[in-house]
Amino acid sequence: MDSSQQLPTSNATAPAVVVPAAFPTPQRCPMCSNTVAPDALGLFECPCGWEGPGDPLETTHGLNRFRQRLSRRMTAGVAKRDLAHIASGRAQAASSTQSS
């Protein structure tokens, strides 16, 4: 290799490490006054239906609030049932591959 030819050097630094923001602290639900702790993703979900700061349920009243809470309950029920079905399917698939 000729001394006038040098291999290109990289001046790029290592990628910056992303430090997650401080984990949210438990908060009081403005609707029922329960203390609500965040889940593993930092999201809030109170049994009364409140889903964290800025939730539209905080400002909604009357029939609209009732409909929104009912819709959330029904949707959550369907989602939980679907997740349980998926989990049982994976458990059955894992047990069938182990028994083979």
Confidence (pLDDT) at 50:
84
Token code pair at residue 15: 């990628």
Confidence (pLDDT) at 81:
92
Would you say residue 1 has pLDDT above 70? no
Mapped onto helix, strand or coil, the DSSP state of residue 79 is: helix
Confidence (pLDDT) at 63:
94
User: What are 76-94's pLDDT values in tens digits?
Assistant: 889 989 999 998 887 676 6
d(CA 92, CA 98): 10
User: What are 2-54's pLDDT values in tens digits?
Assistant: 555 555 555 555 555 554 556 678 889 888 899 999 888 888 888 888 888 88
Confidence (pLDDT) at 19:
46
